[in-house]
Amino acid sequence: MPQRHADRSVVSRLPHRILLLAAFLGGGSWLAMADEPSPLELFEQRIVPIFKSPNPSSCVQCHLASVDLKDYILPSSRETFLSLRDQGLIDLDHPERSKILHLIAMGEQDSDALARRIHAKTRQAEYEAFAAWIRACCADPNLRSAPALEAANRAGPRVDMTVIRHNRKDRILDSFVRNIWSQRMRCFPCHTPAEIDPSNPAHEVPARRHAELVAQHGARMNIFQATPQETLRRLVANSRKPRADRLPLINVNDPLQSLLLLKPISRVPGKDAEGNLLPPSHVPPVTHGGGIKMHKNDQSYKAFVQWLQDYARGVQDGYRSAADLPADDWVPTEQVLRIAQTPVTWPAMSIVQVFVHPADQPPDSPPVAFTQGVVTPRRMFNGALFLIAPGGSDSGATPRLAPGTYRLRVFIDHQHRLDADPTALLHHAQDPDAETVITAKWEEGFKHAEVVPGSQFSTR
Ligand code: HEC
Ligand code: HEC
């Protein structure tokens, strides 16, 4: 138990002590004790309002969904107490050390100072309410020794612990970094003020361009802030209020209709009959002042969709068990695969996925990386690799594929599976269209793409 909680408990015990002292001085300790509110009174006055509040509890600071303080509250004081007690969340002899209080106090340990501050008031009210009520319950011999509640009647989160973990802010932020933040240089310099270096002469023109755009369109140009945390916070805050004149940046009701995704795949606004440029549209059909910066179904698009869909389903409480959770194991790299002159059996505009396997392993061994892209009219394919790293970036994997000999397996989306499910990986669903083995250096950047001639593939 961190020191902070011990300090807190002293504070929260204070009224009790003062009461006792007052009673002692007044010579009527008996009566004063009788004036201590009962567990039932405390429950009605302080816990029920938390239960009935339409607002989420302070847990939302870190748990975007899946668990809320309300989940632990039942309609009656007695049952709520027994439920907590039987789950080990109450310390009968040291009520101030009860684990439920520890969970409430968690928010104080957040490294995100702003989040800590935003939720401080709610957290403190919850803490004090629970501390007072638990203390009163623990002082009641009947409650202490009451028989256990039937397990089925206990209150608590309705989902698996794996789901609670998946919907934690730190995991969501980590996924945001891998799937969206990592792609931000495609939005340079227009939406990336923090990537513009005033001391770099090569950034002089981009800096001017960015300043002009901000003068014209306002602060909404600054989508990517200095940190992923701040970026995500602003995206979420900006998306909260429904508006008739624009889609949300993050659309939790329909993730594929998020402006963050639609703008960069949309054309510049057209012109009216007199030849004047139309204003950009923020509703379908969306247009984008920056023009097409990402192709529908390229690897960045896929990663954006992956994050948006997962985030939306998470905050809508759409996950119940581990089986519902997406793998979330894509780690972006700067390593680019280029296939020049794709075979004629890969028509222009077809969506292609390429899976990378170590050549010394059986062809059906799990891939270590993949990319996705659209064959250009000149029959070229380009895609930056995503490593497939179980456990995401926590696995300690460096986001680079080592040089070596690899088998490439190509899958073409003949059946338009990706229309219905843009994040699908085709190797689960069909046989490869083509294969080859390459010895690759896997250097970084588009300039140093690993080029493989299409003629090298053995097609089926
Ligand atoms: C500052 C962020 C933060 C806040 C606020 C927070 N939690 Fe957590 N919670 C975590 C982290 C991180 C973990 C995982 C680490 C761990 O197990 O200690 C976790 C784990 C959990 C777990 C998993 C099981 C367990 O006992 O470890 C539950 C249940 C839980 N929290 C409930 C809550 C509830 C209920 C609240 C609000 C009263 C809350 N949390 C507030 C960060 C937070
Ligand atoms: C060459 C400059 C340029 C690039 C690069 C660019 N955009 Fe834009 N973007 C604009 C301009 C100008 C606007 C304002 C006009 C509009 O709303 O279309 C805009 C608007 C937006 C908006 C609407 C913001 C709001 O709150 O109204 C989003 C979202 C967006 N862009 C996403 C992106 C993403 C994501 C990328 C990178 C993959 C990107 N853009 C690349 C120029 C650019």
> For the segment 150-185, what is each residue's pLDDT rounded down to a tens digit?
999 999 998 999 999 999 999 999 999 999 999 999
Q: Is the CB of 280 under 6 A from ligand 2?
A: yes
pLDDT value of position 390:
72
Please give the structure tokens belonging to residue 74.
């039942």
pLDDT value of position 282:
98
| pLDDT level of residue 33 (50, 70, 90 thresholds) | low
- Which amino acid residue places its CA nearest to atom 43 of ligand 2? 290
Q: Is the CB of 439 under 6 A from ligand 1?
A: no
The ligand minimizing its distance to the Cα of 251 is: 2
Q: Is the pLDDT of residue 19 over 80?
A: no
Q: Is the pLDDT of residue 249 over 80?
A: yes
**Percent of the residues in the chain that have a pLDDT greater than 70, as a whole number:** 91
Max Cα-Cα span within the chain: 99
pLDDT value of position 4:
41
Identity at 230, one-letter amino acid code:
E
Please give the structure tokens belonging to residue 120.
């401080």
Mean pLDDT of 399-404: 92
pLDDT value of position 363:
79
Distance 199 CA to ligand 1 centre (A): 43
Mean pLDDT of 417-437: 94
User: Can you tell me the distance from the alpha carbon of 77 to that of 134, in angstroms, rounded to the nearest whole number?
Assistant: 10
The ligand minimizing its distance to the Cα of 189 is: 2
| pLDDT level of residue 459 (50, 70, 90 thresholds) | confident
pLDDT per position as a tens digit, 434-447: 999 999 999 999 99
Q: 10-24, 42-56, 190-204: which has the minimum mean pLDDT?
A: 10-24
The ligand minimizing its distance to the Cα of 268 is: 2
Q: Is the CB of 449 under 6 A from ligand 1?
A: no
Question: Cβ(214)–Cβ(221) under 8 Å?
Answer: yes
Q: Kindly report whether the peptide bond that precedes residue 285 is cis, defined as omega within 30 degrees of 0.
A: yes
Nearest Cα to Cα of residue 349 among 393, 396, 305, 297: 297
Please give the structure tokens belonging to residue 93.
């002899």
User: Can you tell me the distance from the alpha carbon of 176 to that of 310, in angstroms, rounded to the nearest whole number?
Assistant: 10
User: Can you tell me the distance from the alpha carbon of 206 to that of 201, in angstroms, rounded to the nearest whole number?
Assistant: 10
pLDDT value of position 392:
52
User: Can you tell me the distance from the alpha carbon of 155 to that of 100, in angstroms, rounded to the nearest whole number?
Assistant: 13
- Which amino acid residue places its CA nearest to atom 19 of ligand 2? 289
Nearest Cα to Cα of residue 121 among 61, 190, 38: 61
Query: Which of 51, 98, 102, 106 is the best mutation target for the ligand 1 pocket, counting ligand atoms within 8 Å of the beta carbon and taking the most?
Result: 106
Q: Is the pLDDT of residue 405 over 50?
A: yes
pLDDT value of position 235:
98
User: Can you tell me the distance from the alpha carbon of 180 to that of 174, in angstroms, rounded to the nearest whole number?
Assistant: 10
Question: Cβ(353)–Cβ(385) under 8 Å?
Answer: no
Query: Which of 47, 67, 116, 121 is the best mutation target for the ligand 1 pocket, counting ligand atoms within 8 Å of the beta carbon and taking the most?
Result: 67
Distance 206 CA to ligand 2 centre (A): 15
| Chain mean pLDDT for the chain | 91
- Give 302's Cβ-side CA count (13 Å radius): 27
| pLDDT level of residue 18 (50, 70, 90 thresholds) | very low
Please give the structure tokens belonging to residue 458.
């053995």
pLDDT per position as a tens digit, 273-291: 999 999 999 999 999 999 9
Nearest Cα to Cα of residue 262 among 274, 251, 273: 251
Q: Which residue has the higher pLDDT, 389 or 168?
A: 168
Q: Is the pLDDT of residue 78 over 60?
A: yes
Distance 62 CA to ligand 1 centre (A): 7
Please give the structure tokens belonging to residue 327.
């793998």
Q: Which residue has the higher pLDDT, 399 or 46?
A: 46
Q: Is 278 exposed, middle or buried (0-12, 13-18, 19+ CB in 10 A)?
A: exposed
The ligand minimizing its distance to the Cα of 266 is: 2
Identity at 299, one-letter amino acid code:
Q
Question: Cβ(40)–Cβ(84) under 8 Å?
Answer: no
Q: Is the CB of 25 under 6 A from ligand 1?
A: no
pLDDT value of position 389:
85
- Which amino acid residue places its CA nearest to atom 35 of ligand 1? 69
pLDDT value of position 391:
60
Q: 28-32, 236-240, 352-356, 456-460: which has the minimum mean pLDDT?
A: 28-32
Q: Is the CB of 187 under 6 A from ligand 2?
A: yes
Q: Is the CB of 186 under 6 A from ligand 2?
A: yes
Question: Cβ(445)–Cβ(384) under 8 Å?
Answer: no
Question: Cβ(51)–Cβ(83) under 8 Å?
Answer: no
| pLDDT level of residue 423 (50, 70, 90 thresholds) | very high
Q: Is the pLDDT of residue 397 over 70?
A: no
Query: Which of 223, 263, 282, 300 is the best mutation target for the ligand 2 pocket, counting ligand atoms within 8 Å of the beta carbon and taking the most?
Result: 263
User: Can you tell me the distance from the alpha carbon of 107 to that of 138, in angstroms, rounded to the nearest whole number?
Assistant: 25
Nearest Cα to Cα of residue 410 among 339, 449, 353, 345: 353
Query: Which of 186, 190, 195, 234 is the best mutation target for the ligand 2 pocket, counting ligand atoms within 8 Å of the beta carbon and taking the most?
Result: 190
User: Can you tell me the distance from the alpha carbon of 179 to that of 255, in angstroms, rounded to the nearest whole number?
Assistant: 14
Nearest Cα to Cα of residue 409 among 430, 393, 440: 430
Question: Cβ(129)–Cβ(47) under 8 Å?
Answer: yes
Residue with tokens 């961190």: 2
CA–CA distances in Å: residue 43 to residues 26, 62, 98, 208, 235: 28, 26, 17, 60, 38
Q: Is the pLDDT of residue 197 over 80?
A: yes
What torsion, rounded to 10 degrees, do the Cα atoms 157, 51, 12, 95 define? -40
